[in-house]
Amino acid sequence: MILRNTIAGQLVVLLLIYGRHTLLSSAKTVTSEQMSLALPEPRAYLPDAQNLDFVYHDHEELTRFLRATSARYPNLTALYSIGKSIQGRDLWVMVVSSSPYEHMVGKPDVKYVGNIHGNEPVGREMLLHLIQYFVSSYNTDQYVKWLLDNTRIHILPTMNPDGYAVSKEGTCDGGQGRYNARGFDLNRNFPDYFKQNNKRGQPETDAVKDWISKIQFVLSGSLHGGALVASYPYDNTPNSRLLKGICRSSALCAMFQTYSAAPSLTPDDDVFKHLSLVYARNHAKMSRGVACKSATPAFENGITNGAAWYPLTGGMQDFNYVWYGCMEITLEISCCKFPPAYELKKYWEDNQLSLIKFLAEAHRGVQGFVFDPAGMPIERASIKIKGRDVGFQTTKYGEFWRILLPGYYKAEVFAEGYAPREVEFVIVEQHPTLLNVTLQASKYNVGSARKPKKERKQRHLLHDELQTPNE
């Protein structure tokens, strides 16, 4: 054929042979000089392709992939939107589970959130590949099958699609695309435990707040870029307001933070350190604690307390924990914020095991139900592990979960109209402890039973005695 003797003809033949795969089979073996001389690498992406390619996907492509995956795997996936960005892009969430359309009673809900900073899209792509791996491996990987049979996994690949749309591939530093379309940093836009956050709420953060108020998430990870570390709460500290008016230059900020930054530890510090280590140790590089740049700090074992690294107000992970009892950590997974696409395959290889193993930690600790004397579930019963002031609540089915390390514990359980109760239990390493609690009706009638304090109404999951420090 004459067509074979032309460059276009050669491309057609190659594409026919290799189908959905890229023309250059190993980008890592091609130098930048060779790339500049070679033909442009074709986009082999098809929205319904079995194998998701390692390129960055714009919002339209991301949407097509999610919809096609949901159509192909209706028994394992469900797609829904929690709202829209300022510019009208859907904030898509994909549920991956053997029961995708309804909550599985007694089985926890967990989540991942990517791309809260628009110019940090590695996590966005890793979550798409995680979805692909889950659905394609369910019948062949027994660990994945167990995880999906016993967990509902909600994945929000991008929380800031508008910021991503104006970001530039290959940009390792800088702020272009970091913020939403109104110029707000979404990871500084949540209510804060230590300091009043007066920043105007944004549609993206409002959507996430509404989302997590409706689903009792047990465990969560937020994926970022710009460092290589697993960071855990608290992100803020009672003294964080001292930074205001002082940090006006990066050099001065670095000096001040080196001098003043100190850990701000939660009552569940042992659990948060453990969760962070699970991710870091299953990652190909993170646990080495190597600094991304010579001027930046190294992180012992690849983990850090957020405030010890640098304090911030209005972060998402503190909000998840304090307001809703969801244990969220921040996962910084790339030294470069927006690395070139040919590096994505390596990032997937580095993070794949960590992403899976981390979610399985939702099955560590204690889980059970709270019932009334008739055996009916009690919704919004408040539970606090004694000595750990941040509490949590039961679902409408009376369920609860709490990630805990092996040891002896005492749970304080109370609900309006019922007599409070303390229950002792033991956590072992091998499997979660099952704990069912029955509350007896209070001697007072329901109408006169003590009402929850304003603090509990506002925060839902805080114990009565947990008060916000005064400004």
Q: Output the domain CATH number for residue 224.
A: 3.40.630.10
User: What separation in angstroms does the CA of 169 have from each of 116, 122, 284, 384?
Assistant: 17, 11, 24, 46
Distance between CA atoms of 282 and 399, rounded to whole angstroms?
30
Q: What is the pLDDT of residue 444?
A: 67
Q: What are the E-state strand segments in 225-316?
A: 227-232, 303-305
Single-letter residue type at 388: R
Task: From 348, 363, 378, give the residue that closes a domain.
Answer: 363
pLDDT digits (tens, 9 = 90+) for 21-65: 333 333 333 333 333 333 334 333 333 345 689 999 999 999 999
160 and 276 housed in the same domain: yes
Distance between CA atoms of 358 and 345, rounded to whole angstroms?
20
Bridge-based pairing of strands 303-305 and 227-232 is parallel
Residue of 363, 423, 414 whose CA lies nearest to 393? 414
Q: Which two tokens stand for residue 175?
A: 């702020």
Looking at the domain assignment, is residue 77 inside a domain? yes
Q: Which two tokens stand for residue 149?
A: 């049979």
The low-confidence residues of the chain, meaning pLDDT below 70, are 1-51, 240-260, 444-471
252 and 391 housed in the same domain: no
- What single DSSP character describes residue 90? E
Q: How many other C-beta atoms lie within 10 A of the C-beta of residue 468?
A: 16
379 and 301 housed in the same domain: no
Distance between CA atoms of 230 and 278, rounded to whole angstroms?
9
Task: From 340, 363, 386, give the residue that closes a domain.
Answer: 363
Domains identified in the chain, total number? 3
Range of the domain at 8: 2-37
Check: CB of residue 276 under 8 Å from CB of residue 329.
yes
Q: Which two tokens stand for residue 159?
A: 């929380």
* Residue 379 annotated among the catalytic residues of the structure: no
Contacts of 46 (CB under 8 A, 6+ apart): 20
Q: What are the E-state strand segments in 335-419?
A: 366-371, 382-385, 392-393, 399-402, 407-414
108 and 162 housed in the same domain: yes
144 and 12 housed in the same domain: no
Looking at the domain assignment, is residue 142 inside a domain? yes
Q: How many other C-beta atoms lie within 10 A of the C-beta of residue 72?
A: 13
Looking at the domain assignment, is residue 45 inside a domain? no
Residue of 303, 328, 302, 304 whose CA lies nearest to 315? 328
Q: What is the pLDDT of residue 295?
A: 77
Looking at the domain assignment, is residue 469 inside a domain? no
Looking at the domain assignment, is residue 48 inside a domain? no
Torsions phi, psi of 16, nearest 5? -65, -35
325 and 398 housed in the same domain: no
Looking at the domain assignment, is residue 470 inside a domain? no
Task: From 329, 363, 397, give the residue that closes a domain.
Answer: 363
Distance between CA atoms of 42 and 444, rounded to whole angstroms?
73
Bridge-based pairing of strands 152-156 and 90-96 is antiparallel
Distance between CA atoms of 257 and 242, rounded to whole angstroms?
11
Please name every residue paired with 434 in a beta bridge, in sequence order, or none if there are none: 367
334 and 377 housed in the same domain: no
Distance between CA atoms of 234 and 321, rounded to whole angstroms?
9
Looking at the domain assignment, is residue 308 inside a domain? yes
- Can you list the pairs that 261-264 forms with residues at least 24 positions away whose Cβ atoms lie under 8 Å? 261/307, 261/308, 261/309, 261/310, 261/311, 262/237, 262/307, 262/308, 263/305, 263/307, 263/308, 264/194, 264/233, 264/234, 264/235, 264/236, 264/237, 264/238, 264/305, 264/306, 264/307, 264/308, 264/311
Contacts of 57 (CB under 8 A, 6+ apart): 45, 65, 124, 125, 128
381 and 251 housed in the same domain: no
180 and 97 housed in the same domain: yes
Distance between CA atoms of 397 and 379, rounded to whole angstroms?
6
Active-site option among 120, 125, 204, 332: 332
Distance between CA atoms of 220 and 110, rounded to whole angstroms?
6
Please name every residue paired with 422 in a beta bridge, in sequence order, or none if there are none: 412
pLDDT digits (tens, 9 = 90+) for 365-408: 999 999 999 999 999 999 999 999 899 999 999 999 999 999 99
Residue 27, helix vs strand vs coil: helix
Check: CB of residue 404 under 8 Å from CB of residue 435.
no
Q: How many other C-beta atoms lie within 10 A of the C-beta of residue 140?
A: 8
The CATH number of the domain holding residue 405 is: 2.60.40.1120
Residue 38, helix vs strand vs coil: coil
Q: What is the pLDDT of residue 221?
A: 98
- What single DSSP character describes residue 21? S
381 and 247 housed in the same domain: no
81 and 167 housed in the same domain: yes
399 and 371 housed in the same domain: yes
- Cα 218–chain centre separation: 11
Looking at the domain assignment, is residue 263 inside a domain? yes
